[in-house]
Structure 1
C-alpha cells in the first residue's frame, strides 16, 4: 500500500482480494469478539471496532460500568425536535465520541416505526412517521460519516416489537413495507449513502432477516442502489449458506457460530459460490477503507471525551425536544422567586436514558432537583419522593467486591477480584482472559446500612443461577425453578423478591453467589446478575409529598418511567404510569392548584389527571444534562422546542395496532400481523375519526406566531419538484420555534382510487427558530412521488391524475391552510 496526497493509504482492494486465502476471506465475515472484526495482519488489514449507539458511544465495556461516555438525548427526543440540523450536530459530536472509544463504526441510528406505542425500544426510534424518521436519520448519518465514522442504520426491517424478538415473524404486506417501513432505509441509501445496515432479529413474512434475499439484495442493493454491508444484530445470524447467499456480510459478535468452518464446508459442498464470498469481503474492505481503518494498526485505547461544547449541545438538544403539552393561563415559564416542591420518583434521580443496549456510563448525571436548585437557589427548593416507579428494586450500591472462579461451584482460589459501586453486572466480556462463558462462577460481597428502620424489599434477577444471602441466611433463591422472564434482553428471570425488616444504622452483610449457565441460551450469550434493595413506600410517603406541595408556591411532579420499563428485551404491559404515580398526581393537584407535571417516558401515556394540573411538559430521556435542561425550560432560559413525533392516544385500545385479534398485536403463534397496513399512528386516527389525547405534531410554546398566505411555485405538478413557501412571524415577547408541517391529501373521486389511502400524509416540514418580531420563510419541496402510493401489482409508485391538497398545519389536527395542486396525467415510477 502507498499513501495519497492526504496522507491516507491507497488501498488496492482487488489486489487484497486476490491475496486473501479463502480461509481468510471467510474469517473476515464474522467478528473476532464482541466488538471487533478479525484482522489479517500479514496483509495489513486491521481489526475494526464498532460501538453501540444511538444516544452515545459506549465503547467495549458493560452497559453501565464501562469507560465513561457522553449521554445524548434518546432518539424519540431528537424526533420531537423535528430538527435535522440538530440531528447533524449530534451525529458530528458522536463521531468524535466514537473515535474516543477506538471505534470507527457506530451502531446507529434506529429507524423502526412507532407502531404500537408499547415497543420496549420505542424511545430508541424517532417517530411513527416515515418522512420525519427519514429526514432525521439522513442528517444523523451525514453528521457521522462526514467525519469519518460509519453509521449502521437499524433494525432492517419491521423490527417494531420486543415480544418473542428472536423468532417473531412480522407479517407485512408489500405496500405497507414500501410506504411505511422501508422509506427511512431508502432515504439513508439514496440521500445519505449509509455505509452499514444492521438486520433485525425478527423474521419478515416467515424468513429471518439475515437470510431475506428479497429485502437485502433485490430491494436494498438492486432497487435502492445500496453498496454497503449488512451486519447482524448481536447473535442475530441464523444460518450459514442461506444467510451468505442472501447477501448478508458480517456475523456479529465473534467468535463465529455460523461462518468459519461451517461456511468453508458450505463452499466445499457447492452451497455457496466463492464469488459470493468475495463480493461480501469486497464490501467489508470498502467499509474499512471508508472509515480510515487502513491508516491505523487497529482499535485505539478508550478515553473519556467530556468537552464543554458537548455538554452545551446535550443541554440544548434536551430543550429542543421538550414538548409542552399543556400550559393553562400561560403558567410557564416560572418566575425564579417562587418556592418549589420537587416531588415524584424522578425528582432526585437522573432519568437520562432508556434501557438495554442504549445504556452508557455517563461521566456525570444532573438530577432535576440539582437543576432546580441551580436555577432557584437551595432555599427555594424542597423535595419528597412520594412513590416509586421502578420496575426492579433500586440497585444495591456500595463497596462491592466481585471474586471470579473457574468452574461453576466457587471452588478453589479466586482467579480475579474487582470492585464495583453497584451490583448490576452484565458480562459482555469476562474480565479474565481464557474464562469459559459457560463454566465460571462469581461471589459478590458487600454491606448495606439502612438509613431508616422498616420493611425493605430485596430483588434479584440473573441470567445464570444465583442465590442471595443476608447475614448468612438465604434471602432469595434465584436457582430453583429458574425460567426466563423480562430482564436482560429477555434472557434473565423475572425479579425474585423478599421482604425483610431492617434497623436504621445497622450494617448488614450481603453475599451473592452466581454460576453461569452450562450452555448458551437461544444462541445468545448473556451472563448477568442484578441485586437491588429499597425501603417499601406506602401512603405515608404520598401524604408527605402532598403536605409539602401545599406549603410551597409551585408543585413540580417529576414522574414517568425509567430504563427498566423503557428497555430492549420486552414490551410495555400498558400505557399507564407505573406504581402509585397517578394517585400522587391527583392528590398533589388537589393540594396545590399550581401543579406542573414533568413526564419522562419513552412514549405515550394515559393522563387521567390532565384537567387537574396547570401544565404538562414531556421531556423523554434527554441525556446527562437532564436536570439543567428541564430547569432551563421551566424557567424560560430555554423554550420548549418540541412537537410530538408520535400520537398520544386517549387510551391504549385507541392505538392503530390494537384490534380484536391478538395476531395484530402482541402476536400469536410466532407471528404478528400488521393488520392496520399503512394506517399507522395519525393516519389511523385521521382516517377512522378516532379521538386523540394529543395529536401527532402537537406542541405549545412561550410565544405566538402569525402565518401569512402560502405560495406555490406552480399549481400544476410536473416532473420536477414544487416549492411551497410560508412566511412565519414571531408576534410574541419571547424566542420560540414553529414547525410548519406539510401534508398531502388526495382529493380524488372514490371511483378513481384503486386502494384505500390515508386522509393525509406528512411529506415535508420546516422548523423555524424565531426571535421576537422576527419573520422567516418556511421553504418545503414536494415531488411527484409525494402524491403517490405503491402499486404492488405493477411494482411501481403511482399517482393518479387529478387534484391534490397541500395541507399546511401545526399538528395533524390543527390545519392552517389548504392549497390545491393538479396532476394533469398519471405519474408512475418503478420500484
Structure 2
C-alpha cells in the first residue's frame, strides 16, 4: 500500500479510531479496526527466541537460541543474519508479527543483571551485529524492535532512575547502535527505555524521539514504550511515542481524546503517529488482512542445527595448556553445579519454555559413552532454594483475604508463578485477588533443610499447619525479584525426617499497589552444600584422567530486574575448582555466565572455556568444542577484569553506580569497557576481543588506501597452524593528539575469516570518515581532526600485530547525509 493509500485510510478514520492504534488492547496486541478492514497486530518477546503470548513460566514451547552476549562473542554478523531469519520463523509460528528484539544497550558495568542479553561493551561491534539480526528478521516480514532507547545500562531502580549522560558520549557510544539500526537496517520499531535521560523519561523525551531519531536520522518506524513504561498522555504524544504498551490503555484512549479536545495535543500529531502504526501494519502484512495465526510449538531440525553451531562458535577459549581439544581420554570426571543442569538462557522477559535442554553431562555422554564418565555435583550455585514441584491444588479468590468460596480451582505442578494476565481462569482481576495452594511433599533424607520464599505480593508458608515464613502486610518488603516488584528471598531452617510426608500450605495475595502489574510467588526447599559434597567430587577427580568442572551462574543471577551483588562465582564454586585442581593436573573449567567473573584459581587449571548461555543445545555445543569437533572461535565482547575493583564504576561514588538521589551519572564518559583499562593502564584478566583457538594465525603487510567513503586497510592473514580455524581480525583507531579528549584506542572495523592450514587471505577492513570523527558538541557536528590517525590491527585490544597511518592535513566537518 502506498503512502497515498495510507493517508486515504487515515482520512476515513475517526479520531477515536486513530487513537485506538496508539495503545495496546491487551498484553501482546493492538486491536483491529474491523470497519476499515485493519487487522490485529501481535508482538512477542524476545532476543533469544519467540515465546508467544504465554507466561514467562511454562506456556507453549519454543526454540531457545544463544543469549545476546554469546552472539556478541561470535563476532559474526553473517551468523546474526541467519539467527534473525530463524527467529522470524519462530515469531510467525507464535502468531506474531513483531519481535521485541534485539537488545543493544552497552555493557557499562560488569554487574548489570541484563548484560547477558546485550551484545557487547563496544558500540561498533554491537551495531554491526544488530544490523544483520534486524535484516534477518525484516527480510521475512517480521518487524524488529531494537531496545532499550536509551541509557538502560543497569537494572537498579530502572523505572525511575535518570541516566545522566553527556551528549558526546551519547552520540559516540550509547546512541550509535540505534543510529546504525535506523540508517543501515531501517528498523521498523524502537522500544523506549524505562529510565529518564538527563531528567526526562525517554518515553516523553522530545530531543531523543523527535530531534535526534526522526529529524536527524530520518527514522520512519514506530516507537513503543517498554511495558508500563509510558508515564503521561500529552508529553508522550507530543514527543513522538507512537505506541503505549501493554493494553488496555492507562494514559491514552479517552484521556488522549480529551487532550486533543482541550488543545493539549494537536490532532495532526495523532494522525502522524497513527500513520506510523499503519505503516508498520502494512510492512508486516496485516493492514487490511484478517489471517489468523495459531500459536504453534514447531521443533525445526534446521533450527536445532543452527543453535548447536552458534553455541559452539560463541564459546571462548580463555586458557589452554595444550590440553584441548580432548583426544579420547580414558576417563573423565564431570563435576560442578552446571554439569547436569542445562543453563541455556538468562532470566526475565528473554526467557521462554524450550523444546528441550541438553546438559553438558548429556552432551559428553552422547559422544563418549557412559563407561568413561563419572559425575558428581560437588556444590551448588543457586541463588534461591530449589523449586518445590509436585501436585498442588490452587484456589483463587476475588479478594485479598482468601475469604469466601474460591471462584476457580486448578492443579499446578510447581510453586512458582509469574502472574500478569490470563490466570485464575480469567475469573479474577489481576490487581485484586488471592490464592491458596495446598499439597504434600515427601522427604527422602533426614536433615536440616532451608525453606525459602519470595513474592511480588504477600505470602505465608506453612508446614503441617506450622507457620514457617510470614511475609504478609508490613512484614513484606520490596526487593529485586519479579522485575523489582518482588521481595528478596526469605529463608528459614526446618528439620525434616526421611520418609515423612508433610502438608504444605501457601497463602498468597496481590499487592495493593503495583507499578508494573506483576504478581508472583516462588517457594523452594533444599540442602546447603556440605564438605562431603566437595570431598566426593575431589575423590572422583583424583581417580580419573581428566576433570572438567562446570561452574558459573544461572538465570536466577543473570536476570532482568536486578544487578549482580559481585562478580565472584556464587557459593563454594571457587573452593571446588581449587580442590579439584590440587589432585588432577588435567583440570578444565567450563564457565557459564552472562558476563565477567573473577578467577582466583586461573593459574592452577589447565584450560578454561567460557560458554555463556548458548541455547537449548548447550551440552552438545560445549561437547563439540571440548572434543574438537567445532573450533572455539568466540572472542570476548566484554573485558574480563582481574577483580571488580578494576572496573570503570568501582570508584566508590554511589552517584556513578548504583545511583544516588534518583540519578546515575555516567561520569566516566567514553572511558568504559576496554577504553577504561587502556586509559588507566590497568591490566585486564582477559582483554576485549581475546580468544584462543585450535588453529594459529599471523598478520603481515598492512597498508591503507583511500576508498569512496574513507579508507580501506588491507592486511594479510595466514593460518600457521595445523587445523582449519577462524580468526577475528580487529582494527583499532588511535587518534591524533588534540584538544578533544579521546580514548587511546577504539574498535572501528573487524572481519571474521576461516582459513585452512597454510592458507593466506587478504583481509579488507573499511575505515569510514565517520570512524575517524568525533562529535563536536559546540558545533553540533562530526569533526575529523588533522594529524596522524593510526590504525592498529590485531587479534584483541591488547594483541596488536600491525599498524598503518592515515594522515589528515586539515580538520573538517562531515556534511549531513554523508554518513
Give the TM-score, by structure 1 length.
0.96
> What SS is found at the alignment partner of 1:103?
coil
> What SS is found at the alignment partner of 1:191?
helix
Aligned to 1:503: 497
Listed as ranges, the matches of 1:510-589 within 5 Å are 510-519=504-513, 521-522=514-515, 524-589=516-581
- Aligned counterparts of 2:375 and 2:471: Cα–Cα separation in 1: 36
Aligned to 1:828: 813
CA contact (8 A) 1:76 1:127 kept: yes
Listed as ranges, the matches of 1:172-571 within 5 Å are 172-294=165-287, 296-297=289-290, 300-328=293-321, 330-431=322-423, 432-480=425-473, 481-519=475-513, 521-522=514-515, 524-571=516-563
> What SS is found at the alignment partner of 1:310?
helix
Deviation larger for 372-381 or 182-191:
372-381
Listed as ranges, the matches of 1:413-812 within 5 Å are 413-431=405-423, 432-480=425-473, 481-519=475-513, 521-522=514-515, 524-714=516-706, 720-748=709-737, 753-812=738-797
- Aligned counterparts of 1:210 and 1:226: Cα–Cα separation in 2: 16
How many residues matched?
A: 814
> What SS is found at the alignment partner of 1:816?
strand
CA-to-partner distance for each residue in 1:664-719, whole Å, 9 max, x for gaps? Answer: 111111101011101111111112211111100000001111323123234xxx76
Deviation larger for 362-371 or 416-425:
416-425
Deviation larger for 159-168 or 462-471:
462-471
- Aligned counterparts of 1:706 and 1:813: Cα–Cα separation in 2: 15
> What SS is found at the alignment partner of 2:219?
coil
CA contact (8 A) 1:405 1:440 kept: yes
CA-to-partner distance for each residue in 1:507-538, whole Å, 9 max, x for gaps? Answer: 3232212122234x13x100111111112222
CA-to-partner distance for each residue in 1:528-552, whole Å, 9 max, x for gaps? Answer: 1111111222211111111111111
Name structure 1 gaps, 5 residues minimum. none
- Aligned counterparts of 1:10 and 1:650: Cα–Cα separation in 2: 56
CA contact (8 A) 1:743 1:763 kept: yes
CA-to-partner distance for each residue in 1:84-132, whole Å, 9 max, x for gaps? Answer: 0110011000000001111100000000011011111000100010000
Cα drift, residue 10 of structure 1: 11
> What SS is found at the alignment partner of 1:693?
coil
- Aligned counterparts of 2:407 and 2:337: Cα–Cα separation in 1: 40
Cα drift, residue 792 of structure 1: 0.1
1:76 aligns with 2:69: yes
CA contact (8 A) 2:736 2:786 kept: no
CA-to-partner distance for each residue in 1:13-38, whole Å, 9 max, x for gaps? Answer: 11221121111211211111111112
- Aligned counterparts of 2:799 and 2:147: Cα–Cα separation in 1: 32
Cα drift, residue 174 of structure 1: 0.3
CA contact (8 A) 1:49 1:299 kept: no
Cα drift, residue 207 of structure 1: 0.3
Cα drift, residue 442 of structure 1: 1.8
CA contact (8 A) 1:766 1:778 kept: yes
- Aligned counterparts of 2:111 and 2:28: Cα–Cα separation in 1: 30
CA-to-partner distance for each residue in 1:359-401, whole Å, 9 max, x for gaps? Answer: 1000111111111111211111111111111111111122333
Cα drift, residue 725 of structure 1: 2.2
Taking a change above 3 Å as real, the CA distance of residues 11 and 499 of structure 1, as seen in their structure-2 partners, is: farther
CA contact (8 A) 1:162 1:570 kept: yes
Cα drift, residue 451 of structure 1: 3.0
Taking a change above 3 Å as real, the CA distance of residues 590 and 337 of structure 1, as seen in their structure-2 partners, is: closer
Taking a change above 3 Å as real, the CA distance of residues 518 and 589 of structure 1, as seen in their structure-2 partners, is: same
Deviation larger for 269-278 or 428-437:
428-437
Deviation larger for 425-434 or 643-652:
425-434
1:14 aligns with 2:7: yes
- Aligned counterparts of 2:399 and 2:653: Cα–Cα separation in 1: 48
Aligned to 2:81: 88
> What SS is found at the alignment partner of 2:814?
strand
Taking a change above 3 Å as real, the CA distance of residues 34 and 299 of structure 1, as seen in their structure-2 partners, is: farther
Cα drift, residue 213 of structure 1: 0.4
- Aligned counterparts of 2:421 and 2:313: Cα–Cα separation in 1: 37
Deviation larger for 456-465 or 297-306:
297-306
- Aligned counterparts of 1:756 and 1:290: Cα–Cα separation in 2: 43
- Aligned counterparts of 2:412 and 2:625: Cα–Cα separation in 1: 36
Q: 1:120 aligns with which of 113, 116, 119?
A: 113
Cα drift, residue 504 of structure 1: 2.8
- Aligned counterparts of 1:377 and 1:536: Cα–Cα separation in 2: 31
- Aligned counterparts of 2:501 and 2:302: Cα–Cα separation in 1: 43
> What SS is found at the alignment partner of 1:12?
helix
- Aligned counterparts of 2:770 and 2:751: Cα–Cα separation in 1: 19
Cα drift, residue 295 of structure 1: 5.9
CA-to-partner distance for each residue in 1:439-472, whole Å, 9 max, x for gaps? Answer: 2222223332233221211111111112122223
- Aligned counterparts of 2:74 and 2:781: Cα–Cα separation in 1: 33
> What SS is found at the alignment partner of 2:17?
helix
- Aligned counterparts of 1:607 and 1:453: Cα–Cα separation in 2: 36
- Aligned counterparts of 1:591 and 1:417: Cα–Cα separation in 2: 55
Deviation larger for 479-488 or 183-192:
479-488
CA contact (8 A) 2:420 2:430 kept: no
Taking a change above 3 Å as real, the CA distance of residues 25 and 455 of structure 1, as seen in their structure-2 partners, is: same
CA RMSD between the two structures? 1.6
CA-to-partner distance for each residue in 1:121-168, whole Å, 9 max, x for gaps? Answer: 000100010000000000000000001100000000111001111110
Deviation larger for 637-646 or 402-411:
402-411
Q: 1:98 aligns with which of 76, 91, 108?
A: 91
CA-to-partner distance for each residue in 1:748-786, whole Å, 9 max, x for gaps? Answer: 4xxxx1211111110000001223333333222111111
CA contact (8 A) 2:137 2:144 kept: yes
Cα drift, residue 418 of structure 1: 3.2
Listed as ranges, the matches of 1:150-161 within 5 Å are 150-161=143-154
Deviation larger for 654-663 or 27-36:
654-663
> What SS is found at the alignment partner of 1:675?
coil
1:135 aligns with 2:119: no
CA contact (8 A) 1:166 1:236 kept: yes
Cα drift, residue 659 of structure 1: 2.3
CA contact (8 A) 1:47 1:298 kept: no
CA contact (8 A) 1:784 1:827 kept: no
- Aligned counterparts of 2:375 and 2:643: Cα–Cα separation in 1: 31
- Aligned counterparts of 2:420 and 2:145: Cα–Cα separation in 1: 20
